[in-house]
Amino acid sequence: AWRKYSAKPFTQKSEIELEFVRHIETTLARSLFNCDELAAYSGIALAFRDRLIIEWNKTQQRQTFADQKRIYYLSLEFLMGRALDNAMLNVGLKDVAKEALGDLGFRIEDVISQEHDAALGNGGLGRLAACFLDSMATLNYPAWGYGLRYRYGIFKQEIVDGYQVEIPDYWLDFNPWEFPRHDITVNVQFYGTVNKQRDTQGRTTHIWQGGETVQAVAYDVPIPGYGTPTTNNLRLWSSKATSGEFNFQKFNAGDYESAVADEQRAETISAVLYPNDNLERGKELRLKQQYFWCAASLYDIVRRFKKTKRAWNEFPDQVAIQLNDTHPTLAIVELQRILVDIEVLEWDEAWHIVTHTFGYTNHTVLPEALEKWSVPMMQNLLPRHLQIIYDINLFFLQSVEKRFPTDRDILARVSIIEESHPKMVRMAYLAIIGSQKVNGVAELHSDLIKTTIFKDFVDICGPDKFTNVTNGITPRRWLHQANPRLSELIASKLGGYGFLKDLALLEELEDFINDKEFRKSWVEIKLMNKTRLAKHIKEATGYQVNPNALFDVQVKRIHEYKRQQLNIFGVIHRYLAIKAMDPKERAKPVPRVSIFGGKAAPGYWMAKTIIHLINKVASVINNDPDVGDLLKVIFVADYNVSKAEMICPASDISEHISTAGTEASGTSNMKFVLNGGLIIGTCDGANIEITREIGEQNIFLFGNLAEDVEELRHRHYYGDFKLDMHLAKVFDAIKGGMFGPPDDFAALLSSVESHSDYYLVSDDFLSYIETQELVDEAFRNQDEWTDKCITSVARMGFFSSDRVITEYAESIWNVEQLDMGKEN
């Protein structure tokens, strides 16, 4: 009987208009006569949200009914960006919405750009999680994301006098995409003590008592798949003081201030995203965030499993939990605790379940990023978990000792506990021991972890535990949404948008490589995208750049290993060369715009120095009348997902130039190539596989190889170091004050000159500038350049996150797609 009342999704313009007006007038209580773009955004977002909710509810019912194994993706970061455009495209109604908005007097682009980015992530790791959610929904996998609902996402970056300034990102003012579930809460315990007790059967049990309790409240975000009714759920936990007697007592006792302080302390847990990437600092609040989120998520997952009334040994057949880096490793310990302490399973039975449930993805080999928590801190905050970790370690080390009785050092090397002062818990080791599979994110990276940081574990656990799943990106956001014109052009040749669901279909584009009209449109689209970026640059920086120049882009977090310093030194080299030219010669070089963007972690001084140098160099070069259009340097402030959507389609060449062996994968490299840009890069991360797919004639590779890095560093360390002569001239210019007080950059130069050049900037400099000359050369021949671009796009099918998710599902999760029958 309820059926006839159930809500229906709209499909037509008139219906969208009706819903839009209804929301403006009633939900928002505004008059249509003062409906500005922000209100229009709110109205259309609410209309689409309603539509998502219907599919979302149905999806949850369908998945419960199907009763299959589910995927739980645990990530401290989900770098989602904007949701409206994605929602409109995924349900296939953007064109209709555009018309409807047009009727009401709005341009859809202006409305879309009112939305605040959901920026709950630092960079690659968080964006990967977002792409995975998109692919899991699109492929109809029953999957949930679990994360934290930070009140402040990654900070906003402003550039003041050439320096980065951080502004808090308060993004929750109006967020139509989240649904508070005040009825879904979990109490999470911290601190306290552990007492042993004997139960009725004479067994020892552990009771974790006292301490404080914080409440986790669920906020749900619908994740629509593309061209499917599947709308999955992203559940973000928000922290709040428990509404229990504790506060109430204090309150009644007249201790109002302290009750409020408790409240605020609890809310602090989910207040802010840590803005470091690749640097672990061991702060207690971060550990609290991790446990809070793991405990709430595990409780939720177990609760859902228990509803099925299955036996515990079926848990791994119903639940696959993927750990996005080591940040959620405590989930392993928490599940063991639930099974042993609360559900009173035997240790071995519980551990079997745990180790068949989890998978762990490693995203970095940088030693400073590997998480370790001090034992005393963990003892204080999570006393029972520390005991369990010690027990896991004990049983593990016993098994290792049995197998390697003669290896004296192996136990100390692989112990979860590092015997330092203070002792430390090595989270990656715990994650490996507690998981059934461990994967890296590109072939080189997966090989490297097996031969370096996790070598002993390959010997102990066998090679089958370690595997590779090369990263990918969702073509929905990174082609169709970011570059609608290119997507449309491709669709016109391929007979529809099927490639958005099966990116390998792009290979048919090679058939059109000699199609004149097609090539012409291709080139026009690139120019339009560059013009759009030039307009943004003009508005944001005041600098005018020529859209016909070669756009050379490096946008990513600022880090020494990513080597933005190599790029800016190269720019200075180019500038000096132009200055040294006879004015008549200056017609020769290819005009270039060097575009940088990216945030530095607030405490990372060297990264901030690099930003400062880029901005100083920009102001000198951009104002030098000798240079004109030949060279411009731009720093785009506050690089984020939305800016990436504008920048990726507008590059001719982009830079992925990390020291070989340091960038696990990289994913922006894929975004740029998919949008018809070429890349200059080192033999690192996914660059290697991109080369394999698109062909080495279509990429500009340079620099030393990963296998040579150790040897080079070793040599530097023992004094065998000579600064590259071209780089020396660049340094002389900086030291001579060409870009402001040289002291400002002294530490940066000396990291190369006198501190053994750990990132091999000098070693790769010559190769870099020579390769940049090859880029110029190639760009002069626009026809050949276009050949390379089209061929590359045609061969990028492999890098769809749909392929990635399929690999995870088949080789790690053992999860099936939901059969959508006729509906799909």
- Helices 347-355 + 427-434 axis angle, to 10: 100
CB 114 within 8 A of CB 38: yes
Q: Which of residues 465-484 bind ligand 26V (CB under 6 A)?
A: 471
- Considering beta carbons, is residue 70 or 363 the nearer one to ligand 26V? 363
Backbone angles phi, psi at 819, to 5 degrees: -75, 115
Q: Before 742, cis peptide (omega within 30)? A: no
Q: What are phi and psi of 788, to 5 degrees?
A: -60, -45
Vertex 386 angle, CA 380 and 392, to 5°? 175
The region of 381-389, 657-665, 710-718, 787-795 touching ligand 26V under the rule CB under 6 A is 657-665
Instruction: Tell me, residue by residue from 267 to 296, as one string, x for binding to ligand 26V by CB under 6 A and - for no binding.
Output: -------x-xxxxx----------------
What is the token pair recorded at 526? Answer: 């690139």
Cis peptide bond N-terminal to 422, omega within 30 = yes
Q: How far is CA 675 from the centre of its chain?
A: 19
| Residue 665 binds ligand 26V, judged by CB under 6 A | yes
In whole angstroms, how close is the CB of 138 to ligand 26V at the nearest point?
A: 19
441 vs 571: CA distance, rounded Å: 31
Looking at the Cβ atoms of 663 and 763, the one nearer to ligand 26V is 663
Q: Which stretch binds ligand 26V (CB under 6 A): 299-307, 362-370, 514-522, 800-808?
A: 362-370
What span, in angstroms and rounded, lies between the C-alpha atoms of 383 and 583? 73
The closest residue (CB) to ligand 26V is 124
Q: For residues 294 and 381, give the distance between their C-alpha atoms in angstroms, rounded to a whole number.
A: 14
Q: Which stretch binds ligand 26V (CB under 6 A): 46-54, 345-353, 477-485, 660-668?
A: 660-668
Q: Is 664 in the site for ligand 26V (CB under 6 A)?
A: yes
As given in the structure block, the two tokens for residue 8 are: 């229906």
Rule CB under 6 A: say whether 656 interacts with ligand 26V: no
> What distance in Å separates the CA atoms of residue 331 and residue 119, rounded to the nearest whole number?
24
Residue given tokens 């797609």 in the structure block: 817
For strands 78-81 and 204-209, give the pairing: unpaired
Interface segment toward ligand 26V; rule CB under 6 A; list 135-143, 264-272, 305-313, 664-672: 664-672
Our finding on whether 683 is near ligand 26V (CB under 6 A) is: no
Q: How many residues bind ligand 26V (CB under 6 A)?
A: 23
One residue of 96, 431, 441, 812 binding ligand 26V per CB under 6 A: 441
125 binds ligand 26V (CB under 6 A): yes
Of 122 and 138, which CB lies nearer to ligand 26V in the complex structure?
Answer: 122
Distant-in-sequence, close-in-space partners of 579: CB < 8 Å, separation ≥ 6: 624, 626, 627
Least distance to ligand 26V from the beta carbon of 601, Å?
9
User: According to the binding rule CB under 6 A, does residue 128 interact with ligand 26V?
Assistant: yes
Nearer to ligand 26V, 378 or 490 (CB): 378
Least distance in Å: CB of 495 to ligand 26V? 33
Ramachandran quadrant class, 596 (left: phi over 0; alpha: psi -120 to 50; beta: rest): beta
Which neighbouring-strand residues pair with 194? 208
Of 327, 349, 323, 322, whose CA–CA distance to 338 is shortest? 349
Q: Please give the torsion angle defined by the CA atoms of residues 290, 293, 295 and 298, in that order, rounded to the nearest 10 degrees.
A: -120
Please tell me whether residue 363 binds ligand 26V under the rule CB under 6 A: yes
By CB under 6 A, residue 808 contacts ligand 26V: no
Of 785 and 799, CB closest to ligand 26V: 799
Is 214 among the residues that bind ligand 26V (CB under 6 A)?
no
**Residue 10 main-chain phi, psi, to 5 deg:** -80, 160
One symbol per residue from 83 to 122: x for binding ligand 26V (CB under 6 A), - otherwise; what is it? ---------------------------------------x
Taking contact as CB under 6 A, which single stretch among the options 37-45, 89-97, 631-639, 663-671 is the one that binds ligand 26V? 663-671
Q: Does 655 bind ligand 26V (CB under 6 A)?
A: no
Rounded distance, CA 208 to CA 628, Å? Answer: 70
Asked if 325 is part of the footprint of ligand 26V (rule: CB under 6 A), the reply reads: yes
In the three-class reduction of DSSP (H, G, I as helix; E, B as strand; rest coil), residue 361 is classed as: strand
Q: Does 19 bind ligand 26V (CB under 6 A)?
A: no
- Report, as residue numbers or ranges, the catalytic residues: 363, 556-557, 562, 667, 671
Instruction: Name the token pair of 472.
Output: 């990918």
Contact between 135 and ligand 26V per CB under 6 A: no
Please state, in angstroms and as integers, the Cα–Cα distance from residue 215 to each residue in 268, 270, 388, following that order: 12, 11, 24
Q: What are 57's two structure tokens?
A: 């509810």
The radius of gyration of the chain from alpha carbons, rounded to an integer in Å, stands at: 28
- Comparison of 383 and 661: residue with beta carbon closer to ligand 26V: 661
Using CB under 6 A, which of 43, 124, 661, 681 touches ligand 26V?
A: 124
Length of the chain: 824
Interface residues for ligand 26V in 551-610 (CB under 6 A)?
A: none
Question: Quick one: which of 86, 364, 554, 687 contacts ligand 26V (CB under 6 A)?
Answer: 364
- Interacting residue ranges for ligand 26V, rule: CB under 6 A: 122-125, 128, 274, 276-280, 325, 363-364, 369, 441, 471, 663-667, 685
